[in-house]
């Protein structure tokens, strides 16, 4: 039977166990998107904590694709020297690291974008972010496809072990996939095959750039969990098509910022039955896709992890918030301390990521300060 501490190989990338640190914005990059010493240390901590595969926070592929302040960038060659330092440090700690790449589309918090157009598939206002995007022309779509491909090439040259496309959570690829945002009437809108065309073109361009022997992964929504959004049948079509095209692994997530309590990072995970909230839909995908499936979403306990793996419902499990509080969680579990993750799913870590200190676990830091007193 498969458990968390079994090795797995993904297109030649051998991982020491089946855990993954899911991509999480940390607010630890430089203002220009550069990789900082703080960010390197955070990734190194995860490697020393024996996380099987570390996924960086999403890195923007074009300047107008930046979502958040102090977000990692992979949009030009100036980023390369410090990114090479990052991969060397992680590898020296016996870790494996991949980079997630993204274009934010309309989901940007960069207020200085007021003088530059915000792009999206169609000019549908986003009430949460306050933008009405410019509907991208087919020329701009092709420009963005090539930006993703060039970014993936930089990822490979910087020494990363894999690249992951962010196709979930309402960012640009997700916006094209979802009828909630995509109202186009040309070859990039309408049917799911048309709505997925931007993604498929992007994947082909990336694969052409990095070659067949470099792992290319994707994060997809199981569903958008909003009225008029991406549905399970759409995701199944996309996952099956990407599988035939040669995708190396699919991370299953779900939800948008507009999904409320059904978003990607749900609160109040108090018992094992609250965990792995995307599991039912991911299991359906797993049955029809040969590429490894990685499940994210509320995983907190080793029994839940091993149940998922033993049942063959997924090939790996991915965590974000628990590894913010405990970068050494996987190592703790392997060492015999099998108590569940200390993360209480309060989501306060995301708020402090907006501050100059970057992301950290607020309850953990508060408790340590009290202990010192």
Which amino acids are annotated catalytic?
171
| Dihedral sign, Cα of residue 94, residue 360, residue 23, residue 326 | positive
Task: Count CA atoms within 13 Å of residue 60 on its CB side.
Answer: 26
- Coil, strand or helix at 370: helix
| Dihedral sign, Cα of residue 185, residue 232, residue 119, residue 111 | positive
Contact 57, 72 (CB under 8 A): yes
Neighbours of 212 (CB within 10 A): 11
State the DSSP string of 214-261. S-EEEEEES---STTS--HHHHHHHHHHHHHHT--EEEEE---GGGGG
Q: What angle do CA 190, 194, 195 make, to 5 degrees?
A: 75
């Amino acid at each position: 039977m498969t458990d968390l501490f079994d090795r797995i190989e993904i297109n030649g990338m051998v991982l020491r166990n089946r855990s993954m640190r899911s991509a999480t914005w940390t607010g630890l990059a430089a203002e220009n998107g550069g990789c900082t010493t703080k960010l390197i240390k955070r990734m190194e901590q995860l490697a020393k904590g024996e996380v099987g595969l570390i996924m960086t926070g999403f890195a923007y592929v074009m300047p107008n694709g930046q979502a958040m302040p102090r977000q990692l960038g992979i949009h030009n060659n100036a980023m390369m020297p410090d990114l090479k330092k990052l991969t060397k440090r992680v590898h020296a700690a016996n870790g494996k690291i991949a980079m997630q790449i993204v274009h934010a589309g309309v989901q940007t918090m960069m207020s200085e974008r007021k003088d530059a157009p915000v792009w999206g598939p169609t000019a549908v206002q986003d009430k949460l972010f306050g933008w009405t995007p410019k509907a991208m022309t087919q020329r701009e779509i092709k420009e963005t496809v090539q930006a993703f491909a060039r970014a993936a090439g930089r990822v490979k040259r910087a020494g990363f072990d894999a690249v992951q496309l962010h196709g979930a959570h309402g960012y640009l690829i997700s916006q094209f996939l979802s009828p909630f945002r995509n109202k186009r009437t040309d070859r990039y809108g309408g049917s799911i095959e048309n709505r997925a065309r931007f993604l498929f073109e992007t994947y082909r361009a990336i694969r052409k750039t990095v070659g067949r022997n470099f792992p290319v992964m994707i994060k997809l929504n199981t569903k958008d969990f909003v009225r008029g959004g991406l549905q399970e049948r759409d995701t199944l079509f996309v996952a099956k098509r990407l599988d035939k095209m040669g995708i190396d692994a699919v991370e299953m997530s779900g939800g948008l910022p507009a999904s409320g309590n059904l978003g990607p990072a749900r609160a109040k995970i108090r018992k094992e039955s609250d965990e792995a909230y995307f599991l039912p839909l991911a299991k359906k995908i797993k049955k029809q896709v040969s590429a490894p499936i990685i499940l994210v979403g509320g995983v907190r306990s080793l029994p839940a992890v091993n149940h998922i793996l033993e049942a063959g419902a997924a090939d790996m499990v991915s965590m974000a918030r628990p590894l913010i509080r405990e970068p050494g969680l996987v190592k703790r579990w392997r060492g015999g301390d099998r108590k569940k993750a200390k993360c209480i799913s309060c989501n306060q870590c995301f708020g402090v990521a907006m501050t100059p200190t970057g992301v950290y676990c607020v309850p953990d830091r508060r408790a340590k300060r009290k202990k010192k007193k």
